[in-house]
Homo-oligomer: A and B are copies of this chain.
């Protein structure tokens, strides 16, 4: 059994890691940390998991975590870099769910306007794009939720340098905003609403630019995120203006080839968030219009957009089946 630890186990991504790993056939969670909740049982913080864990939250203590084979860091951006270097040096494997190691150093410093004080080179953990490097990596930077949905929708065309311009108009469930109440998550502010935010300057843009730019240097990307009244899910409309003529069936061929052997990519005539809810699938539909192609992707932001993909990456890092412990069906309706 792989011994897993989680730094920051009280948030939504921590809870989701616990949910998924509770049934993973090859993993045992041996340590979960929380400064605030240390000494409490898992189910006192995550009542839905009552009956699944007997352990208690502990202080984030590298010594106690060093008995792990893998550690997931599920703490806020900026905080992960306090743990990752030491964990990395101690020789175990790390999957970081924060934004701290997703960008190359130069891009990070452009995006954040400051020096990265604890930089280590990581592999960007969009599994479908980087399987081989992930298999050899000791530090995987798990992608952002929006970039996961966006990059998956455009990568096959970027690889062939066919994109003139792409506009990602993305809609997320509010769980992406985390477990702490804010004006943003206040029920009446989201009720019967669809709320764009950081309309032209969300930092997830840089991940999209970095990853799609690997394929196609001149790719032009625009991105607007928004939240919709729901807890889970990200639906992304990728409005893609193409270089050259490409019919519907050619587009489909390109996508199917690119994602050949990718267990978690499914093509649907029409995607629905409820078709992927609770699962690690990324569903994709391709819609060729007269002016552009609209590729729509649907993921569960907490699974494929966070904790599920983290486990998928762990599977690859340890040579397991990519879908080990993740091959459960979505929850519809």
Q: Which residues on A are within 8 Å of B, measured CB to CB?
A: 12, 15, 19, 22-23, 46-52, 165, 167, 169, 171, 173-175, 179-183, 185-197, 199-201, 220, 222, 224, 226, 228-233, 235, 237, 239, 241, 263, 266, 268-270, 272-279, 281, 283, 287-292, 294, 296, 327-333
Contact = CB atoms under 8 A, between A and B. Distances in A.
Given A179-B188, A193-B272, 8 more contacts: A46-B332, A167-B169, A174-B191, A188-B274, A188-B333, A194-B273, A197-B270, A199-B237
B287 A192 contact: no
A188 B169 contact: no
Give the number of copies in the complex. 4
Given A48-B332, A220-B291, A330-B48, A277 B192 contact: yes
Given A23-B329, A188-B175, A329-B49, A239 B278 contact: no
A182 B189 CA distance: 13
Nearest to A171: B194
A47 B273 CA distance: 11
A22 B275 CA distance: 15
Nearest to A180: B186
B292 A228 contact: no
A283 B48 CA distance: 9
Contacts of A237: 169, 196, 199, 224, 226
A211 B197 CA distance: 29
Contacts of A278: 278, 331
A49 B283 CA distance: 12
A270 B237 CA distance: 22
A45 to B, nearest CB: 11
The interface residues of chain A, by DSSP majority, are classed as loop
11 contacts: A12-B333, A19-B332, A51-B263, A167-B239, A171-B194, A174-B188, A180-B186, A192-B231, A200-B292, A224-B239, A328-B328
Counting chain B CB atoms within 10 Å of each CB, the highest count among A15, A186, A222, A281 belongs to A186
A173 B192 contact: yes
A12 B187 CA distance: 13
A192 B233 contact: yes
Contacts of A270: 196-197
B233 A199 contact: no
A174 B288 CA distance: 25
Contacts of A288: 200
Contacts of A15: 332
Nearest to A200: B289
A5 to B, nearest CB: 19
- For the complex of A and B, 7 pairs with smallest distance between CB atoms: A200-B289, A192-B230, A188-B333, A48-B332, A181-B181, A169-B169, A48-B275
Contacts of A277: 48, 192, 331
B47 A272 contact: yes
A169 B75 CA distance: 33
